[in-house]
């Protein structure tokens, strides 16, 4: 029995089922290839990095760059003797014209003695990825809890090394 000799309702069901199978397959194919495309780009920072933030109160950091254009960066919260800072989070974007990566992350800081919210740290950066390393300038600026300027900008240099399996 061919599809064209079936009852009209069965024909519609079969056509919808085939369309659904093709759509799900296409979505799976595209989502799988889009994440690989970001990681395959030699200028992409996607991955986990050991970062020395030269100029920061505590230099060693760990950063993760996600393929969706978000990132996280962290260091020991006890690294700064005056404030306890949160994990930094923010967006990043690959500049296709020159291969650099521009980004920004924010951290929330609390006073170690009073446990009060004392500032937001905003760091902007431009890095250049070269194989398993990256480097580039950054600027850190502190803002009061109400959003007004507190101090900075303070220059820094971010030097990253990709953390990979043995």
* pLDDT, one tens digit for every residue, the chain (166 residues): 555 555 666 666 655 666 657 565 556 555 544 444 445 688 999 999 999 999 998 999 999 999 999 999 999 877 777 888 889 999 999 998 999 999 999 999 999 999 999 999 999 999 999 999 999 999 999 999 999 999 999 999 999 999 999 8
- The number of distinct structural domains making up the chain is 2
CATH code (residue 143) = 2.40.128
Shared-domain flag, residues 90 and 107: yes
Same-domain check for residues 55 and 27 = no
| Under 8 Å between Cβ of 58 and 158 | no
Token digits of residue 114? 């009073």
The pLDDT score that the predictor gives to residue 38 is 47
Same domain, 95 and 148: yes
What are the beta bridge partners of residue 73?
63, 88
Alpha-carbon separation of residue 119 from 22, 28, 74, 109 (angstroms)? 51, 43, 17, 5
Whether residue 9 is found in the same domain as residue 52: no
| pLDDT confidence of residue 88 | 96
CB-based contact 127:134 (threshold 8 Å): yes
Domain shared by 36 and 57, yes or no: no
**Confidence (pLDDT) at 23:** 63
So what's the pLDDT on residue 11?
A: 64
pLDDT value for 77:
79
Q: Which residue(s) pair with 108 in the sheet?
A: 120
Phi and psi angles of residue 77, each rounded to the nearest 5 degrees, phi first:
-65, -20
The answer to whether residues 85 and 148 belong to one domain is yes
Domain of residue 54, residue span: 47-162
Same domain, 87 and 142: yes
Q: Are residues 63 and 35 in the same domain?
A: no
**Lookup result for tokens 């992350």:** 105
Separation CA 21–CA 126 (nearest Å): 43
Residue 8: the pLDDT is 66
Same domain for 96 and 27 = no
85 and 115, same domain (yes or no): yes
Mark whether 54 and 34 lie in a shared domain.
Answer: no
Q: In this predicted structure, what is the pLDDT of residue 27?
A: 60
Query: Would you state the pLDDT for residue 83?
Result: 84
Do 57 and 87 fall within a single domain?
yes
């Amino acid at each position: 029995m061919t599809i064209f000799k079936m009852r009209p309702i069965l024909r519609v069901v079969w056509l919808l089922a085939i369309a659904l199978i093709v759509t799900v397959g296409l979505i799976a194919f595209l989502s799988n290839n889009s994440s690989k495309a970001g990681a395959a780009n030699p200028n992409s920072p996607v991955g986990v990095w050991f970062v020395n933030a030269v100029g920061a109160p505590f230099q060693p950091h760990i950063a993760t760059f996600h393929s969706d254009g978000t990132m996280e960066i962290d260091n020991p919260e006890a690294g700064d003797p005056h404030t306890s800072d949160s994990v930094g989070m923010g967006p990043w974007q690959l500049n296709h014209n020159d291969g650099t990566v521009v980004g920004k992350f924010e951290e929330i800081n609390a006073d170690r003695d009073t446990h009060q919210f004392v500032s937001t740290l905003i760091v902007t950066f431009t890095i250049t990825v070269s194989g398993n390393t990256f480097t580039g300038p950054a600027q850190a600026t502190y803002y009061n809890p109400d959003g007004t300027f507190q101090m900075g900008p303070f220059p820094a240099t971010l030097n990253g090394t990709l953390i990979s399996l043995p």
